[in-house]
Structure 1
Amino acid sequence: MVSLLLRSSKSLKPFFPLTNVRSYHDFVRFATPGGVGRVPLNSPKVIGVARSRGNRSHQEDFHSFASLSLNPEELRISLKKFLGIEWNTEGANDPVTRQVVFVGLYDGHGGSTVSQYLRQELHGLFESVDKSQIPELFLWIKDQGGYFKRFRGGALAPWIHKTQGTPPLDLEARATQAFFEVDRLLSIEREARTCGATASVALLQSLDYHAMPFYSSERLALTIAHCGDARVLLYSTKGGVAFPMSENHHADSRVESARLRRMMGASLITDSFGESRWMGALANTRSLGDLQYKPYGVTPEPEVRTKLLEGTDWAYMVIVSDGVSSVLSDDEIVDLGRDAPNPKAAADRILAFAEEMSGGEDNATVLVVPLAGWGKVEGPDRTRALRDFRRRQAVGSERQRRM
């Protein structure tokens, strides 16, 4: 069987004619007195990564980092629309000020075809999609039938019938178009009918007068485009509190139950383990791929949230797959990294404790993104006593099992 991942990009061109030249990089630029500096995004001191296959025979978790170059007018519109910020685009055509750092985590299920494709392509699609492609994309979406027969376009609605004379995309529309484009591209791949992946993407834009790297920016615009059940968490320096930037897209969650009942009625089935599954098969009601379930309400539309991060109020952001969040609370996840010397060490600590609690039953990935408040967390570690108790319980259970 020939995998989509092994096909040349030439085979995809008829399905996705790109109008922009891709200019993303694997480093972040920042202003210096002598010009422009560069720092590689894959440095363990810039973004911490910890991954484990667990006890499984294959890895379905993947991630990607990139520094995108986006239209300054789109960024201005997004800042005004979502954060009420007036951003002066004068001089914003230089590479530093139009830079947006992209951090993505993809948790595959039913195979790794979709999650590997996202690792390779989503950041490039995010940068290169264009509003002129939306009318054709919308027709393809409607052709999926079922749930999408009643689809009105969502964040793409202003561009579904015509694009001439319409405003530029905002970040929500860009994310929505990129996620749907993934499904359209994967529709030629047989495996993508039964294979899928969640996607949680963080976009970081420095608003400092002289643009600084995200880890030292005094004013940072954070946008989360989230589809699935990974957790995206901010860690406050004041009291060490976890602030969630994502909600799990399960059929029994508040947002999803309302969406699905309004459009599809009731198809929620509880399995023998007490877990709720849509159509009796899927834990997630938003995903990329899983094409056979798209007519029944499974959508790739991301839920988009934004937040302005100012000063040193936030120490770091953590993105984890459900191999971690299924066994640790939000507060445990963020507390585990608070005294780490660097982001890589923080990610390792979170992963190690999650595996200790779960026995390594699932793939697990941790991404730690430092912010301006790194190393400045005040107050006690609020979950230390709980973690110590859980560790003792786990050790006792292991001893009993071996007796």
Structure 2
Amino acid sequence: MSTCAVRSAGSRGPLRVLARTPGLSQRNTANLRIQPGDQRSPRRHFHNYFVTHLPSSSLHPDSRSSAGPGHKLPRSASTPHTPGPGSAPAVSPPNMPSRDLTVVRIPLRSAKHHFGASNSRGQRHYNEDANQAGTIRIPAFAKRVPISLSRRQAARVAGEGEGTSADSSLGDPQIFYFGVFDGHGGSECSEFLREELHGYIEEAAEEFGLESSLKREPGIPDSMGDPDTISGGRESVSQSTSQTDGQQSQGTTDSSSAGPRLESELLAEYKRTIGGYFRRFKPSHFSAPTAPSTRDPGYSSSLSSTSSSDSSSVSSPSTLESVLTYAFLRADLDFVTAQARKPDPDDPYISDFPLNKDEILGSPHLPPSGHGIGGPVRFKGGSTASVALISTPTPSPFWHPAAHSTLVVAHVGDTRILLCETATGRPLPLTSDHHPSTPAESRRLRRFVTDSLVTDSFGEERIRGLANSRAFGDMQAKRTGVSAEPDVVRVDLRPAEFSFLVLCSDGVSGSLGDQEIVDVIKEAGTPEEGARKVVEYATEVSNDGDNATCLVVRLGGWERRSEGGVGSLGTREMREMRRAEAGDPRRRGRC
């Protein structure tokens, strides 16, 4: 019986040691959620810490010496890393073989110089927002950089004393995961996404057979480090590379048809359980054909024949975009079907009607953690979601000024993700709000549900009373086109090209402009201080007092964040004026 030390999501307390049963593969653990009566302990845990290599001397630094630029990892919060099944291996990086290194794990929320999160309930009775940050277990998706740049970058990291991230259990650099979820009607759905969405992504990546973008070709040395420094020289690298490629090619042959088959099954399940808009639903990142008709008596046989024919014709590898789309839709369907089978607290005659009164049928799955979904009664609300994944091609951390990295964003609803350009100081929005009035959403909805679009007294279009045309949950509006299909954006981040990444709920973006948000963060000393100041400013000048949440992630250009453009001076005068108006008692009386 082996053990693995993990920390519960969102917790800052001591680590819990959980036992793992030997011989149980992760493929089997993924199938545990299909058994409704299974009460086994959860098998998937979210790592809200990251593993890194630090010089042993930096754990007890000399106060008279400098630790180097940017080296401000929280030594007090770091703990020695004990490797276990599914955890990152404690191996020294090949580009620093002679240094005395200690492998430690650091809670991401304690690394205030690298990440910051803040939230406020505003003037609402309770907070419906949720957020998450940590590392996720999926293959790397970063673009490989030329080997000359990676060698130069490794030497620079070693020279400046920056902590070097350890590899994940998959052999790739760690994938960082950040998410913000804005619930409406309650916090059940946003909390479900905070605790489970990363598990759906990990599960979908495994089931789709997602391959690492850093897979080495035969005869080409790895850019993760200088092959001459690896024991065994170039010959051992070539032999291990060819063996790895043979194993991966064999796995690709076995799993190349898994993606289209799973996509077809999910589309068929949406069509059968929800219907309405989803009878002709085809996500943009899916390669599977339209789901077969569930009214056909030979539905199961036609599905199997369709899947088998598609598997023979489709040979393209799975992409991260299709994995994220599948994970979002799978999580949404599981949540909705779980709520449809619960009693409705607002209907005193629920016993006189079938459980599928809302025309959502089917049996719910258990989420990846194995826990139940929601509370004992039906939840009719929902939640938005914006998720950011960051992958690097080398062990150098993504916040290092010389690091290359790749950012992938998946977005549903009106939460927002921004990048701040180092050279210009301007915000680069990576998401667009999913409102019924936006051109893209209006075209999508008017093809199917014109009669469900109404205009409220403020002149804003709504679909079945909802301001968001895409969201998780919202079971009463699901058949009219409220989908959880995400918009997925991929951005390659060059060294120090961007200063920081911002994720915020509409309590922030609805009150502040994008330029105001990034300018407030520019004036802060750390990402943690920047997130707190953004939330305080948004709460101060807000007219509706909505919940406000902000996450700030440091990138390579953080030290130069005030150099581009006019720094934070562009909106300072306007911000001071807005604060003065917010503090005016006559304004409060008019509101």
2-side partners of 1:49 and 1:369: how far apart?
Answer: 9
CA separation of 1:67 and 1:336: change in aligned 2, threshold 3 A:
same
Q: Report if the CA contact (8 A) 1:218-1:372 is conserved.
A: yes
CA separation of 1:28 and 1:215: change in aligned 2, threshold 3 A:
farther
Q: Report if the CA contact (8 A) 1:242-1:331 is conserved.
A: yes
CA separation of 1:311 and 1:71: change in aligned 2, threshold 3 A:
closer
2-side partners of 1:125 and 1:113: how far apart?
Answer: 17
CA separation of 1:292 and 1:372: change in aligned 2, threshold 3 A:
same
User: Which residue is equivalent to 1:344?
Assistant: 528
2-side partners of 1:24 and 1:53: how far apart?
Answer: 25
% identity of equivalent residues: 35
Q: Report if the CA contact (8 A) 1:102-1:202 is conserved.
A: yes
* Match status 1:118 vs 2:193: yes
One-letter amino acid of the structure 1 residue matched with residue 318 of structure 2:
L
One-letter amino acid of the structure 1 residue matched with residue 459 of structure 2:
G
Q: Report if the CA contact (8 A) 1:193-1:292 is conserved.
A: no
Residue 388 of structure 1: SS of its match in structure 2?
Answer: helix
- Return the offset for 1:156: 2.4
Q: Report if the CA contact (8 A) 1:278-1:285 is conserved.
A: yes
User: Which residue is equivalent to 1:240?
Assistant: 425
User: Which residue is equivalent to 1:47?
Assistant: 115
Q: Report if the CA contact (8 A) 2:180-2:385 is conserved.
A: yes
One-letter amino acid of the structure 2 residue matched with residue 224 of structure 1:
V
- Return the offset for 1:359: 5.7
1-side partners of 2:515 and 2:37: how far apart?
Answer: 42
Q: Report if the CA contact (8 A) 2:264-2:288 is conserved.
A: no
Alignment of 1:272-287 (within 5 A): 272-279=457-464, 281-287=465-471
CA separation of 1:270 and 1:123: change in aligned 2, threshold 3 A:
same
Alignment of 1:261-340 (within 5 A): 261-265=446-450, 267-279=452-464, 281-340=465-524
Residue 35 of structure 2: SS of its match in structure 1?
Answer: helix
Q: Report if the CA contact (8 A) 1:106-1:200 is conserved.
A: yes
Alignment of 1:169-180 (within 5 A): 169-180=318-329
CA separation of 1:255 and 1:11: change in aligned 2, threshold 3 A:
same
Q: Report if the CA contact (8 A) 1:106-1:199 is conserved.
A: yes
Aligned to 2:578, which of 377, 381, 390? 390
User: Which residue is equivalent to 2:58?
Assistant: none
Higher mean C-alpha displacement, 257-266 vs 161-170 = 161-170
2-side partners of 1:210 and 1:179: how far apart?
Answer: 29
Where relative contact order (Cα < 8 A, 6+ residues apart) is larger, the structure is 1
User: Which residue is equivalent to 2:270?
Assistant: 141
1-side partners of 2:124 and 2:419: how far apart?
Answer: 29
Residue 157 of structure 1: SS of its match in structure 2?
Answer: coil
One-letter amino acid of the structure 1 residue matched with residue 472 of structure 2:
L
Moved over 6 A (4+): 85-88
Aligned to 1:220, which of 380, 405, 412? 405
Aligned length: 378
Structure 1 spans left out of the alignment, 5+ residues:
1-8, 80-84
1-side partners of 2:434 and 2:587: how far apart?
Answer: 37
One-letter amino acid of the structure 2 residue matched with residue 183 of structure 1:
D
User: Which residue is equivalent to 1:26?
Assistant: 48
Residue 406 of structure 2: SS of its match in structure 1?
Answer: strand
Aligned to 2:334, which of 185, 193, 197? 185
One-letter amino acid of the structure 1 residue matched with residue 332 of structure 2:
D
* Match status 1:257 vs 2:432: no
- Return the offset for 1:206: 1.1
2-side partners of 1:307 and 1:282: how far apart?
Answer: 31
CA separation of 1:16 and 1:324: change in aligned 2, threshold 3 A:
farther
* Match status 1:197 vs 2:383: yes
- Return the offset for 1:137: 1.9
Alignment of 1:87-166 (within 5 A): 95=170, 97-129=172-204, 130-131=207-208, 132=258, 133-143=262-272, 144-158=274-288, 161=307, 164=311, 166=315
Give deviations 1:237-260, integer Å, cap 9, x for gaps: 223101100000001112211211
One-letter amino acid of the structure 2 residue matched with residue 149 of structure 1:
R
One-letter amino acid of the structure 1 residue matched with residue 199 of structure 2:
G
Give deviations 1:212-234, integer Å, cap 9, x for gaps: 24455621100100000011111
Give deviations 1:151-191, integer Å, cap 9, x for gaps: 13432234873575644431111111111111222111246
Higher mean C-alpha displacement, 62-71 vs 162-171 = 162-171
One-letter amino acid of the structure 2 residue matched with residue 14 of structure 1:
Q
1-side partners of 2:146 and 2:401: how far apart?
Answer: 19
* Match status 1:380 vs 2:555: no
TM-score (norm. length: structure 2):
0.59
Residue 268 of structure 2: SS of its match in structure 1?
Answer: helix
**Greater C-alpha radius of gyration:** 2
User: Which residue is equivalent to 1:14?
Assistant: 35
Residue 435 of structure 2: SS of its match in structure 1?
Answer: coil
- Give RMSD over aligned pairs: 3.0
The structure whose residues are more often strand, as a share, is 1
2-side partners of 1:100 and 1:16: how far apart?
Answer: 33
Q: Report if the CA contact (8 A) 1:49-1:366 is conserved.
A: yes
TM-score (norm. length: structure 1):
0.85
Higher mean C-alpha displacement, 349-358 vs 163-172 = 163-172
One-letter amino acid of the structure 2 residue matched with residue 200 of structure 1:
S
Aligned to 2:125, which of 53, 57, 64? 57
- Return the offset for 1:277: 1.1
Residue 59 of structure 1: SS of its match in structure 2?
Answer: coil
One-letter amino acid of the structure 1 residue matched with residue 284 of structure 2:
G
One-letter amino acid of the structure 1 residue matched with residue 130 of structure 2:
F
Higher mean C-alpha displacement, 113-122 vs 52-61 = 52-61
- Return the offset for 1:325: 1.0
Q: Report if the CA contact (8 A) 1:48-1:344 is conserved.
A: yes
